[in-house]
Chain A
Amino acid sequence: MAPSVLAGRPSGPGAGYALLAFGAVLLAVGSYIGLFVAPSESFMGDVYRIMYVHVPTAWNALLAFTFGFGSAVAFLLKGDFKWDARHEAAVEMGVVLAGLLCCQGAIWARPTWGVWWDWDPRLTTTAVMFFAFIGILALRRFVEDPVKRATWSAVATIIAYVDVPIVYFSVRWWNSLHQMQSSPETVSAPFLIPLRTNAFGILFLMAGLITLRTRIARLRLSQEMAPPLPEAAR
């Protein structure tokens, strides 16, 4: 496999910072509407407002892992290290969002289910997904050779990704405490605006962070794969 880490130039950091700032603004606006403007829910009262951060976090965590999976496949097919850098960035972002998702879920579960955690299919498969991708980040840290690291972690991501559709469909396949996926048909109109605003907010934030994190990975790869300095220059 011919390493091509130095081939092509990543886009400037300006795009990453702009996406990050736009995402933060959207998230702030969406959260304000969700907390102070949207009406209370009939049964859950105000506790349901956790939905406006929890559901967008879940969507974007699954999206980050899907991008990581796509990047892993692209790396194995093309051998281009820019895909390895994207893969690393997406998996790290996915792990952050999945960890946050589990904590938000526990905070919502306590007042509604009466427990912080339950070995329910949705919760269990999400925890498996979180720990599987943490394992991939650990694997990347322990393997020094960039080619082996990229190949092994790409294969591991493809295997771990099997759990992602299981997480999504778990509430349909098994009896679950967790509610089914919501859609515009099942969510009242006043709830949709903050939900969508926060979903796009986290999406833009995630896109900005993945852009910057990819650049970090590419800079590190450039250093790792640079030819050693000649003796006279040392």
Chain B
Amino acid sequence: MSTSGVLSGGWEFVTAAYVLSLVVLSTYSLSVVWRYRVELRRAERELRGPEESA
């Protein structure tokens, strides 16, 4: 690391921040979409009634 007060390099930190953001946001997005579909299927089953779902 330079002593001039000017940073050089550091792309590994930049990459880590972007990859982390991508992983967190895409994992949460997928989990919301998945949970929504699960709840929707359950609600549709209940709407059809216990006889049909059995």
Contact = CB atoms under 8 A, between A and B. Distances in A.
Contacts of A47: 7, 10, 13-14
Interface in A8-39: 13, 17, 20, 24, 27, 31, 35
B48 interface: no
Interface in A170-209: 202, 205, 209
A43 B29 contact: no
A100 B33 contact: no
Interface stretch (A126-134, A137-145, A147-155, A215-223): A215-223
Contacts of B8: 45
B42 A223 contact: yes
A219 B39 contact: yes
Nearest to B51: A233
A96 interface: yes
Contact of A46 (B14, B16, B29, B36): B14
A111 interface: yes
B11 A46 contact: yes
B18 A111 contact: no
B36 A212 contact: yes
- Candidate in B17, B42, B49, B51 with the most chain A CB atoms within 10 angstroms: B17
A104 interface: yes
Interface string B13-45: 110111011001100110011011001101100
Contacts of B9: 45-46
Contact-residue bracket for chain B: 20 to 34
A100 B21 contact: yes
A46 B21 contact: no
Given A20-B29, A111-B13, A212-B33, A96 B24 contact: yes
B7 A44 contact: yes
Contact of B18 (A31, A99, A233): A31
A8 B27 CA distance: 31
A111 B9 CA distance: 10
A108 B32 contact: no
A103 B17 CA distance: 8
B10 A57 contact: no
Contacts of B51: 233
Contacts of B13: 47, 50, 107-108, 110-111
Given A99-B24, A100-B24, A220 B39 contact: yes
A85 to B, nearest CB: 12
Contact of B28 (A43, A112, A209): A209
A102 B49 CA distance: 46
Given A53-B17, A205-B29, 8 more contacts: A42-B6, A44-B10, A45-B6, A45-B10, A49-B14, A100-B20, A104-B17, A205-B25
